[in-house]
Chains A and B, each alone.
Chain A
Amino acid sequence: MTKKAYEPLFHISKRNTIVWWKAWTIRAAAILAALIVCGFVTLALTGLNPINVYITMFEGAFGTSRRIWNLLQNVAILLCVSLAVTPAFKMKFWNLGAEGQVLIGGLATEVCMIFLGNKLPTPLLIVVMVAASIVAGAVWGFIPAFFKANWETNESLFTLMMNYVAIQIVSYFTFIWSVPKGSGTPRVLEFGRLPVIGGQKYMLNIIVVAVLTIAMFIYLKYTKQGYEIAVVGGSPNTARYVGIDVKKIILRTMLISGAICGIAGLLLVAGTDHSLKSSTAGGRGFTAIMVSWLAKFDPIFMVFTSFLIVFLEKGASKISEVYRLNDSFSDIITGIIIFFIIGSEFFINYKLKLSKNSNKEAAK
C-alpha cells in the first residue's frame, strides 16, 4: 500500500437529547461569536470601532418611540406572513408564494378603497375590504394547492411563479391608477383606512396579529384540523392509511395560508402605507420562511424570531445611514449573524468529538 490513510480529525454523532439550558448556552454563544466576527469584519472593512457600531445599531431599532413603534409594526406584519406560511410548512407544502398572496390581498383591498370608497359608510367598507382581501389571498393560495392535490405538481415552483404573476398584475394597476395618471406614483388612498386605536397608528395591526398568533398556536396544537395537518406533513401514506382525505387537507390548509397572507396585505395597504405598489410586501414573503423555520413552526416562538430579524434589519440600516456606508455593509452584518444562529442548530443536534489519536499525531 503506497497510499497513506489517516484517521479523521472529528467524530460527529447525533445527540439523543439536550437539556434546555445547554441548548440556550449554545445559541447565546453563537450570537456572541457572531458579534465578535462582525466586529473584526467591521474593523477590517471600515476601520470603525465595533462597539460604537453596535450601539448605533441598537439606537436604530429602539432610539426613539417612533422607531420602537415602527419596529413593532414591522414585526407584526412579518409575523403575520410567517403565521400564514406555517400551517403549509407543517404539512410539508413549501409555500414560497406568500409574497404574491400578500400583494393580491393588498390589491383586493385597494380595489375596494378606490371603487367603493365614497359609496359605502366606512365600517361597512372595512368589512367588505376584509372579506375581499381574505378571498383574494385564499384564491391565490388555492390555485397551486389545487394542482398539487390533483396532479402532484411541484408546489415550490408553482407558488414561486405565482409571485411574479402577482407582482406584474400589481405593477400594471399601480400604473393605471397612479395620480397623476400615467406618472407611476401610487395613488394615496383616502377612504377605508383602518381606525387608529389609542392614538397609535399601528396599534390595530399589532392587536390583530397578536390575536392571530394565539389562534394559530391553538389551531395547530389543539384542534383536529391542526392534527390532520401534522399527520399529512409527517407521512402522507399514514394519513391515507387512517382514512384522512389528503387532497382535502392540502386544499383547506392552503386556503387558510393564503387567507392570512391576504390579511397581511390588508394591514399593509389599509393600515400602514395607504397605497399599494409592487414592492409593498417588501420581500417579507421570503423572510417569513426563515422566521417560521427558525422557530421550528411554533407560532409563539415566531414572535421572537421575527423580532430578531426585524431588529437586525433596522439596526443594520441605521449603521449604513449614520456611517455613510452603503446597504451592502448592513447586509453583511445581518448575514453573518443569521449564519451563526442557524449554524448553532447543528451543534444543538450533533456533538463533535476530537479523535483520540489526532492529538498524538499533531504532537509528532
Chain B
Amino acid sequence: MHRRSFLAGALAAAPAALGATACGNGADSTAGSGGRTQLSYGMWDPLQVPGMQKIMKAFEAEHPGITVKLQVIPFAQYWTTLKTSMRGGSAPDVFWMNAPNLRLYASNDTLEPLGEHIRRDGFDMGVHPEELVGIYSYEGEHYGMPKDFDTIGLWYNKELFDRAKVPYPDESWTWETVYDAARELTDPKGSVYGIAAEMQGQYCYYNSIPQAGGYVIRDGKSGFAEPETIEGLRFWTGLVDRGWSPTASAMTDTSGRQLYISEKVAMNYDLSAMASMMYAAPGIKDHGGVAVLPKGRKRATTIHGLANVISAKSPHTEAAWKLVKFMGSKKAAEIQAREGVTISSYTGTQDAWVKSMPEFDLKVFIDMLDYAVPYPHSTYTQAWENLQYQLLGSSWTGHGDGIAKASRTLAQQMDLVLEREN
C-alpha cells in the first residue's frame, strides 16, 4: 500500500515537473504577460533572503519592466544543481559565485563576460576591493560583480585572558606572542585551551602561509613544497603538538568555532561574517573581542567574497546586466549592510555593519584590507582542497606524519591536479 502510493505519487509528479520546467522556459524566453521580463536569481544562504528581497524590490522600482524571482538552493546541492541545470539550459539568469568555482565556470564558457557591459556603461570597478575584482577575473576578462567580502580576524575571550593575566591581543602581536599566550591560557584542569588550531584553509593556514612568506598556488604550480609554506603550516601543527590546542580529532564533531562560543578556547581565527553569530551568543557578546591577525614575517589575512554572475545561456543578458550592475551599486550595498549579515564590498558602505555591533571592534576587518591576500583558487580548486584533508589531516592529530613530508607529498599531488587544467 505504502509503496504503491509512493510509486503513484512519483509517476504523477514526473510529468508535472516536466511541465513546470517547460512552462518556466516558455515564460523566460518570451517576455511574460504585459511585456515584463522575469529574471531568476540563484543563491544559497537563507539568512540573506530578507536582504535580497529588499534589494530586488528597490531594483524593480527602478526598472518597471523587470521582475526578479529568488531561487534559494541549499549550499550542499547548489553546485550540483547548477551544473545540471547549466547542461539542461535552465540555470538561473543571475546567480552567486564563489572563488573556488569561478574559473571552472568561466573556463567552460558558462558565464557572460562583463567587460563590454562595464565599458559601455562606464561602471567603475574600483569601488570594490581590488583583490575581489581580481578573483572574479579570468584571462583578462571580468566575470563577476563583487557582492560582499570576508576577512579573517583573531577572536578572543577577555574573561579567559583576564583569568590567565594575559594582555589582550592588539596590532603589536606576532606569532611568538600567540605561542606565549596560548601556553599561558591553556588550563588542563579547567579543560580550556589557548587556541583552536583547526585543520582548515581559509580560517587558518591560508593566512599563516602568506604570513610566513609562502604561497598556496602561484602560476599554476603548488606552493606546498616551499619551506616558507611549510613554516606556515607548522605554526598550527606546533600548537597542537604542544597541547595548547585541541587536536583535529577532537574538533571533528565540535568545530573550533563552537569551542570558542562555548568558551572552551581563548583564541580562534574566524571569519568576519561570523560576527552576528558571535553577537548572538550572550557570553561572547559580553566579553568577546576581535583583533587583527598577529604578524609572522609579514602581515596577511585571507579575503574572500561572493559575486553576482550572469549565465551565458540567459536569454535576457541586458536585463541581467542591469540587475548585476544595480547589485554592484552603492544603493544595493547599503541595503545589504543594514541587514548586518555580510560586509558589502562597495567601498565606504561598511560603516553601517561596523556600527551594528559596537561591543566588537569590527573595524579591524576593514583595516586588514590593506594587506589582504585573495583566497587561493584555480579551475579544480575543490580537487586540491580535498587533497589537503586527505594528506595533511593526520599532522593535526598530535601523532601523525611529519608536516614537512606530508606537505611535500601534497605539492606533488596538487601539481598532478593542476596539470589537468592546462
Whether A and B are associated in the same complex: the answer reads no
